Amino acid sequence: MNSPNLSYIITTRNRLNFLKITLGKLLRELQPDEEIVVIDSDSTDGSKAYLQDLFEKGHIHQFISEPDKNQAHGWNKAMLMARGVLIKKIIDDDIFCYSAIRVCKQYMLQNPQVDVVISNDLSSSVNDHKHVSNLTRLPQFEKWRTGLVPSFTFGDVHMLIRRSSLAQIGLYNTSFIMMDWEYSLRISYLKANIAYYTGYNALSMWHPQTVTALRNIPLIEEQSKKAGIFYEYAGDRAEISNWSKIKIFAGKTLNYNKARAKNVTIDQQKITELDVMYNYLYDYLLKINDEGNYTFLSS
């Protein structure tokens, strides 16, 4: 494949149970004009051997396994390796609607002026997977596109990027813990051409391994202030301190001490139930997109 239309990029480390589910779904949905790029951060749980086998069999198109300095470093490697016209980030423990992603893909291919497409997002958790919350950023997008605010935040789990637009918006900032938060502010502040899809191409899934950023809340708050000043971000109800997967864990409050005091682990029963949970949520996400009447809003 010389020039795929879409590159799915994945970075992972020691999350084989989730990776097998996510890659299994992706491989069944993969189109002839798409590629899969996987960066493994030197896993020790069998992920490396699993991925190497898929690579040798030709199921994934590009693969390396080596230590990363941090998550942003790994994702930047993947974006630089991607050969597609478009890039779609696939997080190993989240849920994706590939029919909705293809709708976004076709929109971007037909509208070459669009740099980035984002969509509505849903969220759930392994503790109560049938409780699904809506994480729409449409009101913030509307304020931004009408010029009321110079920047706004959104999660990158539902984002598609035009690879050539990286020359303008750049890669992830490897100094930021909440890298998607800073990246969204930068993309919007630079006045990239963002289109908003009112459907749902992703669902964020919380589990205990998603809360590692909670270990350094003071640094997150310091970075929040710096980015807020640099990108003239006035703030909203999704500040960096409770945005992305942190807010799924801590609730929509700042009660981090209580959250950190809990000894959160995935028990064995939950691990064995992952397939059931994920199948339910994949079906849930697909049904929402099939039953809705969604459109694109341009900037």
- Domains by residue range for the chain, with CATH: 1-92 (3.90.550.10), 94-299 (no CATH)
Contact 116/169 with Cβ under 8 angstroms?
yes
Note down pLDDT in tens along the chain; length 299 residues.
578 999 999 999 999 999 999 999 999 999 999 999 999 999 999 999 999 999 999 999 999 999 999 999 999 999 999 999 999 999 999 999 999 999 999 999 999 999 999 999 899 988 889 999 988 999 999 999 999 999 999 989 999 999 999 999 999 999 998 889 899 999 999 999 999 999 999 999 887 666 554 556 788 778 888 888 999 997 765 554 444 444 433 333 333 233 333 443 444 445 568 899 999 999 999 999 999 999 999 98
Distance CA 60, CA 82 (A): 12
Instruction: Mention every residue, 6+ apart, whose C-beta is less than 8 A from residue 146.
Output: none
Outline where the chain has alpha helix (H).
Answer: 16-29, 47-56, 71-81, 98-110, 138-145, 166-169, 179-189, 217-230, 245-250, 256-261, 268-272, 274-291
Q: Which residues neighbour 49 within 8 Å (Cβ) at sequence distance 6 or greater? A: none
